[in-house]
Amino acid sequence: MKSIDGGVCAARGFTAGGVHCGVKAGSDPAKRDLALILSERECAAAAVYTTNRVKAAPIYVTMEHLEEGVCRGIIANSGNANACAPKSHENALEMCTMAATATGLEPQDFLVASTGVIGQTLDLAPIQAGLPGLVKSLSADAAGSDAAAQAIMTTDTVKKEAALEVEIGGKSVRLGAIAKGSGMIHPNMGTMLCFVTTDCAITSDMLQEALHTVVKQTFNRVTVDGDTSTNDMCAVLANGMADNPQIEWEDEDFAAFQAALLALCRTLARAIAGDGEGASRLITCVVHHARTEESAERLAKAVVSSALVKAAMFGADANWGRVLCAMGYSKAPFRPEYVDIAFSSAAGSVAVCEKGSGLAFDEEKAKAVLTQPEVVIDVCLNEGHDQAECWGCDLTYDYVKINGDYRT
């Protein structure tokens, strides 16, 4: 398995693009807001969606269009969530129709996604006007993926893109993805969009199975602020152009594909956590020597979700009592009196708690460890052999600033 360039255009047979069409009236003309990903052949496809009871219209339309497990492309906009507003459902359908018209395909060939403000009617005129130029701009090069990745960004400060190559069934198979996500990220997915393309030959059932397993271990272990969004979606399109023997059951090839998908999504999940709104550092909590992976995951999530832990990380304050406290209210079983806690980063490691009780430690060294751009909170439960890691970020002034005045 090796990293390659090209994002969603890395896999054979995919093109992508992104343009500014003006979804949000008066928005910066340099900001792309409409993305399209297209496969030259029909794809097996799978997706997972937000668990929020309030789901945006594009989620329902995508669910419908994926009923057969096949599609050809994805149309997505930023700047408006197309949720909880008059005509949301019609507008989501209409976006697919417009994409179909512009590409000579059928509306049900498209998945549709939106991200942005909730509750305002999506104006389709700019999308209709922008589509011909977007289709014309579609590219199979890295530039196409780059433009699409930019077009789905909202408060993201960095573009999220990754791709890799792996051998499956004697063939070189490529997987690539673009993602967006910054606020409203939580274990059960925040406004997070992730579009994965691959030239692997795999059935949609196997694709769905791999995606479920992988999302549980990657995007569902990311938290920025505990809010889950109405619009989250992670979709995978597989067009089979790698010519590997089609993956139809849980064999070795499936395991190789799933491992590659896991590596790809893990990279993006970490990128999303590190780019949490206003974040100044990526926080990873690893809980190990747990009796079950489930309890380890619950504990790690509670730690990276805690506003007090997050604020302490912002202040580079080794306030490990908040870590233990967050574990305590996670509702996962553990023995506080067995717990060891350490903070580590590129600057080293500092043990702060042993068997549930505070250790004397060098505050200067702790400060040095905690001021790095990536900090690991290492929790040993001393109870068993399972583990899980979750990702989050610190809570900063900028988070408050960004979210105190997002609509205007």
Q: Supply the residues annotated as catalytic.
A: 191
* Helix axes of 293-305 and 307-314: crossing angle, nearest 10 degrees: 60
Distance CA 42, CA 80 (A): 29
Q: Which residues contact 148 (CB under 8 A, 6 or more apart)?
A: 7, 8, 16, 17, 18, 35, 36, 37, 178, 195
The binder of its own copies chosen from 254, 343, 391, 399 (CB under 8 A): 399
Q: Which residues contact 104 (CB under 8 A, 6 or more apart)?
A: none
Distance CA 139, CA 18 (A): 10
Burial group, residue 404, by CB count within 10 angstroms (0-12, 13-18, 19+): exposed
Residue 384 binds its own copies, judged by CB under 8 A: no
The window from 138-146, 239-247, 322-330, 378-386 that contacts its own copies (CB under 8 A) reads: 322-330
Residue 107 binds its own copies, judged by CB under 8 A: no
- Find, among 217, 205, 293, the residue nearest to 250 by Cα: 205
Residue 305 binds its own copies, judged by CB under 8 A: yes
Residue 61 binds its own copies, judged by CB under 8 A: no
Show the site string, 341-370: x = touches its own copies by CB under 8 A, - = not.
-----------xx--xxx------------
In the complex, the smallest distance separating the C-beta of residue 263 from its own copies, rounded to whole angstroms, is 29
For 169-291, where are the alpha helices, taking DSSP H only?
204-217, 252-274
Residue 54 binds its own copies, judged by CB under 8 A: yes
**Which residue shows structure tokens 């600057």?**
347
Residue 48 binds its own copies, judged by CB under 8 A: no
- Find, among 314, 22, 8, 39, the residue nearest to 162 by Cα: 8
In the complex, the smallest distance separating the C-beta of residue 221 from its own copies, rounded to whole angstroms, is 16
Residue 259 binds its own copies, judged by CB under 8 A: no
Q: Which of residues 210-229 bind its own copies (CB under 8 A)?
A: 225-229
Residue 183 binds its own copies, judged by CB under 8 A: yes
Instruction: For residue 295, give both structure tokens.
Output: 């309890």
Q: How many CA atoms lie within 13 A of 76 on its CB side?
A: 38
Residue placing its CB nearer to its own copies in the complex, 118 or 269: 118
Residue placing its CB nearer to its own copies in the complex, 19 or 395: 395
The window from 123-131, 234-242, 282-290, 302-310 that contacts its own copies (CB under 8 A) reads: 302-310
Residue 62 binds its own copies, judged by CB under 8 A: no
What residue ranges bind its own copies (CB under 8 A)? Answer: 51-55, 81, 83-86, 117-121, 183-184, 186, 188, 225-230, 305-308, 311-312, 314-315, 317-322, 324-331, 333-334, 336, 352-353, 356-358, 395-397, 399-408
